[in-house]
Amino acid sequence: MVRHWLAEGIFDGKLPEVAALRGVQQPEEYHGEGDAFVHTLLAMEAVDDDADPLVFWGALLHDIGKAEKTYFDGSRWRSVGHAEAGAHLVPDIMSRLGLDELAADVAWLVKHHLFHFSWNLGSDDRLTRNQRRFMEHRLFPCLLQVCLADAAASHGLSNKGGKIRMIAEIFADECIGKYEG
């Protein structure tokens, strides 16, 4: 659907919040792919065709808050608070597109797509109780996929893809442990 909108030239009218990401700068060392719009399209492309629609919409909308929250602090571009700002925009977007039933879940994915930055895990670290509880959320598997799409679309020095894959392995081990125990 979105690819069709791009091809037909109606994308900006359907998703002005995503179109507003054109020209929104990002730190080059982590986002050598270009502005936030290019990054978003690459994230969308990184989602498997057979993925849950929540993953697709989460990847497409994950950075929409950057249009409002991006600023230059004198040394680099920053987008503090963009996940929360984007999550607030999601319900209106999904309603406008006739996808109200997905709104709350997509908003949760957008709001939490940066969760991994606060998880200071090494290869031998154990999860905290709060981390385990967070991983039990029914949308956590979708969140991992959104984060992996975000990482795949980030061309630079970021190690978030490796960190997310490590968390995905821990999640898989936790799930297997529950069923074996």
3-state secondary structure of 155: coil
Domain count, the chain: 1
What is the CB-side half-sphere exposure of residue 167 using CA atoms within 13 A? 27
Alpha carbon distance 128, 88 (integer Å): 28
Is 79 in contact with 28 (CB distance < 8 Å)?
no
Assign residue 164 the CATH number of its domain.
1.10.3210
Is 62 in contact with 115 (CB distance < 8 Å)?
no
Reported confidence tier of residue 179, pLDDT bands at 50, 70, 90:
very low
Reported confidence tier of residue 171, pLDDT bands at 50, 70, 90:
confident
Q: What is the mean pLDDT of the chain?
A: 90
Reported confidence tier of residue 2, pLDDT bands at 50, 70, 90:
confident
Q: Which domain holds residue 30?
A: 2-180
| H helix runs in 70-139, sequence order | 82-96, 100-112, 129-135
CA distances from 15 to 7, 12, 31, 38, 81 (A): 14, 5, 22, 14, 21
> pLDDT digit string (tens) for 44-92?
999 999 999 999 999 999 999 999 999 999 999 999 999 999 999 999 9
